[in-house]
Structure 1
Amino acid sequence: MLKQPLLIMAVLASGVSTFLANAHEPSSINMPSQLLIKSAIAVQNKSIVADDEAWLIPGVMLGGEATPQYSGAAINDLQLFGRLNLDNSYYLGSKLGYHQHLGEGELELENYWLGKYFVFDNSILKIDVGQTATEVTPTANYHASQDEFTTKPLLAEVFFGGHHKDTGIKANWYWQELELGVEAWNGDSWPTTSTTSTKSGKGNFAGFARYHGFIYGIKTDFATWYSKGNAEQRIDGRYDSGHSHSATTITAPDVSFTGDVAMAGSYLLLSHQVNDNFLWLAQWEWIHSQLDGQIADTTQSAGIDQTLDGYRLMLGVNIQAHKFFVQQEHLAINNKFTDASTTLIESQGLYNDGLEPQRLILGYHWQWNSNFTLRIESVSDKTQAYTQGENETQQYWSLGLIWQHKLL
């Protein structure tokens, strides 16, 4: 919950992922001091799990904020951004966020940082220090008010616990169309440490290389990245007291994980403005995760070597005030256990019986005016195991509204 004085809101800054304004300059260089509010609300016709049940994916350990939207209306996201430019190329930034589940909400100061950029003859170096999000992939920084869908990407939930935030330092170097980034974090964010863990993080490091430019007239954004960290007694704290967003008692697996966590990935974003009325885009992403360590509950323990591969493909078109999107996600799971009992594996939901989770989303946006966007989406979710005779695919839809307004 938010404990800092509300005066910090005067220096709130945009948390949007850094992209180049042109081939030589990061967009943050020319960003003015500002205060901006973004919000997303939606009503959903049904939940993929009952209100008193934990959302689980067989074979996968979930945590962080990896929780689905429940039926009914909710404020999916409310963000207050701002930026205060200081002298000598310094700037302050922060983001105040609010989201709601099952009628209960949480307000917190998600991000706050101090930045500095250095301009050289033909390159730029930018350094940020504070609590913010990784820039290895935009998927790690999902928010309903700034992304295409109300539903969180499956890859964001599985690999980053919904979205990433941690305390650390980031350095980005820009040279022509190339960007190189290195990051060092406390490791206090999923997948290295759970939110409710009594153990502090042991550090997490990441690096990436990204190309921003045009290839044969097509705007191209390609990146590849690697991240390495260590988890100590990481648990699923999504439904613990003070973090569950619900008055209903929900029981999640009590297994803890201790060991190494290595991740890598790549993504490619292509877009082309055909004419004044038509734009198309295509995005492909792959994320790989390798967990090597020990799992334990209150009575048993075992060794685990887990490999997860996630794939995401999104296609979209923009025709005047109308946007259409389709996104397919797929997850491949490979768990190997040593000295493990069948009881431990099954009771903790780590036996997936060949299930390969999938999620298909169809979305439509109508840009009502510059500040309001109507959003409709239909979801086919196949992330859970069902008893014999039940349909493995859950179908639901949502109707939402995105609103943004520049306050200063």
Structure 2
Amino acid sequence: MNKLTFSIVLCGLSAPIYAHQSIHGNSRPDSVDVRTTVTYRSNEAAPADEVWQIPGVLMGGEALPVSKGATLDDVQLLGHLNIKEGYFVSTKIGTHGHDGSTEVSLEKLWFGANTEFYNQVMLFEVGKMSTEVTPTASFHASDGAYSEAPLLADVFFGRHFVDIGVRASSSFYGFNLGVELFNGDNFPSSSGDGTAAVYVHTPVRYQNIKGQFGSWLMFSDAKSRTDLRYEDGHSYSDSQLSASDLAFTGDTLMFGIYGDIAWQLNPITLDAGFEWITSDVDGVLLDSTQSAAYLSTQDGYSLQMGVALDSHHLSIKYERLVVDNRFTQTSQTFVQSTGLYNEDFEPEKFAVAWVWDVYEDFTLRTEWYQDNTQEKQTSRWSLGLVWQYKLL
């Protein structure tokens, strides 16, 4: 708990240094939206009969590889209702495709209320919801230029962060500050052991330039956390795969900064974005027979640029992961068996996407990826259709 308190205080002190979107809630109108995307891919990210593991990092959550052929990547039904002044409820029913199979679930349901505290308007939210620390932590294939999750989302958040928790946020002099406490059901924590985060975001607007910047700090605790990606029906082949029985107990402290900006130069718009996430992992690895003290520093970098003209948008993105793992009180044989001995291998991913708003609520999206996240490098192209429709 001392380390958790220290993490929150540290990010709070750093808030004035850095600069997301304004406090929401009742400022949003009542709405019901549906979004979905179908994608055909020329190649798979990993063999269907193997557990997908990025060398050097522990994985979890929903971070599963894309498969060859056509898949229903994403379906979202989102609702927002303002009950009365200062009080609202939001919900999302969603599904994510894995190797042709889908599972519908109530992904989010949370309540929010605006109140005044020492003459300062504050928003309090409680329920099952996403973290607000960075947009990267809430990936969905139907929301952006790319159908595949960012490398940084897979490694640091298990693809998308959804958990039961509470959040308090407010605006001070153009800065949006927030504090979050979660149960720990989302990677990299374990259920009941908790995740805490603080963030500060600020929107930027100057003439025909607009964007946002943010920084954040997140602390997670885990006890006997194992890789459950291939459990609960998430099989990636005809036979049920199972990750190793390797368990992690320890702390994960993450810090990140990000920014994105768009510059309107009629008739074109230029956009760019960057993100850096660093993670310190400190704990113990254990299987049925052996153990090791484990220290890891992971740095993820992302750069993105794009240009839009009329109904077309062309984007390029580069991501890289640098990992430094240290093992003590163990044997070399055990280290090799964990999959965390990466021998200075640095995973990276390069992508190009062209998006065309082809007709009313329909968007055509084609992509090309050079995937160097495995020692055996692969490339693939994809063609997809995105449908977004406002029911209310």
Task: State TM-score, norm by structure 2.
Answer: 0.91
Taking the aligned partners of 1:241 and 1:211, their CA distance within structure 2 comes to: 39
Taking the aligned partners of 1:246 and 1:100, their CA distance within structure 2 comes to: 13
**Code of the aligned partner of 2:253:** A
What residue number does 2:216 align with? 225
Matched length = 373
Conserved 8 A contact 1:52-1:249: no
Cα offset, 1:61, TM superposition: 0.8
Q: Secondary structure at the match of 2:161?
A: coil
What residue number does 1:16 align with? none
**Code of the aligned partner of 2:215:** T
* Cα RMSD, aligned residues only: 1.7
Unaligned runs of 5+ in 2: 1-19
Which of 32, 47, 51 is residue 50 of structure 1 equivalent to?
47
* Superposition map of 1:6-405 within 5 A: 20=21, 25-118=22-115, 124-193=121-190, 200-215=191-206, 217-244=208-235, 246-275=237-266, 277-385=267-375, 392-405=376-389
Unaligned runs of 5+ in 1: 1-18, 194-199, 386-391
For residues 180-199 of structure 1, the C-alpha deviation after alignment (integer angstroms, 9 at most, x for no partner) is 01101111110112xxxxxx
Q: Secondary structure at the match of 2:257?
A: strand
**Code of the aligned partner of 2:102:** G
**Code of the aligned partner of 1:396:** R
**Code of the aligned partner of 1:95:** K
**Code of the aligned partner of 1:365:** V
Cα offset, 1:140, TM superposition: 0.2
**Code of the aligned partner of 1:274:** L
Conserved 8 A contact 2:351-2:367: yes
Identity %: 39
Taking the aligned partners of 2:75 and 2:24, their CA distance within structure 1 comes to: 23
For residues 22-70 of structure 1, the C-alpha deviation after alignment (integer angstroms, 9 at most, x for no partner) is xxx5354332111110001101011121111111111111111111110
**Code of the aligned partner of 2:70:** A
Taking the aligned partners of 2:134 and 2:187, their CA distance within structure 1 comes to: 15
What residue number does 1:407 align with? 391
Cα offset, 1:123, TM superposition: 5.8
**Code of the aligned partner of 1:278:** I
Taking the aligned partners of 1:245 and 1:351, their CA distance within structure 2 comes to: 25
Cα offset, 1:128, TM superposition: 1.0
Conserved 8 A contact 2:198-2:217: yes
Change (3 A) 1:272 1:118: farther
Taking the aligned partners of 2:245 and 2:304, their CA distance within structure 1 comes to: 35
Task: State TM-score, norm by structure 1.
Answer: 0.88
